[in-house]
Each structure stands twice: as structure tokens, then as C-alpha cells.
């Protein structure tokens, strides 16, 4: 049986394939170049975020030894980076605010992640300007975030990452939080009260029955 004479849809080079295994591309490199350029990976991950996180969490629980092996391998290959980042973090934290102010920031969020606006039992402290790139451990560089958003942002540019992942609404939430940062200090509230950055929802007024 003679081979088919085909033309690659990416590089347009002629190639041969058996009739039982036709193909659009002459090589794997052409297939990657053609599909990667058109496939919206960021959109796919955004639409399947919950499922992907669940699968990752299940894999980590089912494979603790493999997870530790991967972590050890990365740490062994990146000792200089870990030492440099750890030193910068320690210096920034020493020169920054105390633990009570950090607690006030997290309490003020009332469980809301600044970026995705989700409600969580536990929040983390995200540094808008990463400590690894010279950011300060100070109140005006804090935003409360969920674990997923904090890990995703990492040391990326805050404005670009927020707009890419959460659009204009994410930027508005971040700006609103920063504009109200003077309310984050422990002295800003009376003892026994909870600071709330997000404004409470107004109760709907019911019409009196006649």
C-alpha cells in the first residue's frame, strides 16, 4: 500500500504517512507550535481550577513520599536561591511590623480573599511587592489572600497578575483594601471588636403588610 503524500499545516513541508495513520503535522514540534499558539491554557486552568486543585490535593495525599522526594530534589538543586530568599525575608521581617499588626490585617479581611473574593476559614499574608525582590514587610505591602491565590501570585508583578487572573474587579478590591489600610492596625479598633474591611451588606427593607 503506497504512503499518502501530505502537507504539514504548520510549516507546509511535504511528508509521507501511511493511510492507517494520517496526520496534520509533519513532526511533534510542528504540532506543539500549532496547538500551543492557539490553545488558551490560562482560560482552561481558570475554568477548571477547582477540579485541578482537587486532583493535586488528592495526589499529594496519596503520594507523600514522592512529594517529599520532589521537594528534596528541588531544594538540593536550588540551595543558593533558598539561602538568598530566606536571608532577604528574615531581614525584611526584622525591620517590619510586629505579629499583632499582622493578625489585625488577617482579622480585618473577615475571611475574604482580596484577589478572588472567596470566603475561607484561613487566610495568608501576601506581600504585594515580593520580599525576594526588595519588597518591605510593612502594612502598606500586605494583602490578605487565600492559599491558592498567594501561591499563584508568588513573586509576580501584582497588578499584572491580578488583572490577568481576576480582572478589573480584583484590582478594585485590592485598591479598596489598600486605601483602608489605616484601619488594619490593632489601635484602630477598641478591645474586643473585630475590624472589618469589607462593608457589611445592607439589610433589605420589607414593606409592611396592610
Convert the pLDDT of each residue in 28-87 to its tens digit.
Answer: 888 888 876 666 777 787 788 888 888 988 999 999 999 999 999 988 998 887 777 676
Residues 171 and 103 in one domain: yes
Judge if 179 and 104 occupy the same domain: yes
- The yes-or-no verdict on residue 171 having pLDDT over 60 is yes
| All three cell numbers of 163 | 488583572
120 falls within a domain:
yes
28/52 same-domain check: no
Q: Cα separation of 109 and 145, whole Å?
A: 9
Question: What pLDDT is recorded for position 209?
Answer: 54
Q: Within this chain, do residues 158 and 106 fall inside the same structural domain, yes or no?
A: yes
User: What is the number of structural domains in the chain?
Assistant: 3
Express as a percent the part of the chain with pLDDT over 90.
7
Structural domain of residue 73, as residue ranges? 46-77
Q: How far apart are CA 10 and CA 207, in angstroms?
A: 66
Domain membership of residue 18 (yes or no) is yes
Contact 133, 155 (CB under 8 A): yes
Tabulate helix, strand, coil % of the chain (nearest 5). Answer: 55, 10, 40
Place of cell 475561607: 120
Amino acid at each position: 500500500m503506497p504512503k499518502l503524500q501530505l502537507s504539514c499545516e504548520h510549516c507546509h513541508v511535504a511528508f509521507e504517512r501511511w493511510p492507517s495513520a494520517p496526520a496534520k503535522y509533519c513532526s511533534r514540534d510542528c504540532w506543539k507550535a500549532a496547538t500551543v499558539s492557539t490553545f488558551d491554557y490560562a482560560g482552561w486552568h481558570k475554568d477548571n481550577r477547582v477540579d485541578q486543585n482537587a486532583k493535586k490535593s488528592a495526589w499529594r495525599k496519596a503520594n507523600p513520599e514522592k512529594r517529599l522526594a520532589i521537594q528534596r530534589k528541588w531544594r538540593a538543586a536550588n540551595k543558593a536561591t533558598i539561602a538568598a530568599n530566606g536571608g532577604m525575608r528574615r531581614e525584611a521581617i526584622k525591620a517590619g511590623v510586629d505579629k499583632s499588626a499582622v493578625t489585625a490585617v488577617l482579622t480585618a479581611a473577615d475571611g475574604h480573599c482580596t484577589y478572588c473574593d472567596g470566603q475561607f476559614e484561613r487566610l495568608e499574608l501576601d506581600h504585594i511587592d515580593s520580599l525576594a525582590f526588595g519588597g518591605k514587610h510593612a502594612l502598606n505591602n500586605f494583602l490578605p489572600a487565600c492559599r491558592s491565590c498567594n501561591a499563584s501570585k508568588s513573586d509576580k508583578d501584582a497588578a499584572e497578575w491580578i488583572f490577568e487572573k481576576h480582572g478589573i474587579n480584583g484590582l478594585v478590591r485590592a485598591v479598596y483594601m489598600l486605601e483602608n489600610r489605616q484601619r488594619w492596625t490593632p489601635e484602630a479598633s477598641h478591645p474586643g471588636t473585630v475590624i472589618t474591611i469589607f462593608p457589611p451588606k445592607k439589610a433589605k427593607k420589607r414593606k409592611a403588610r396592610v
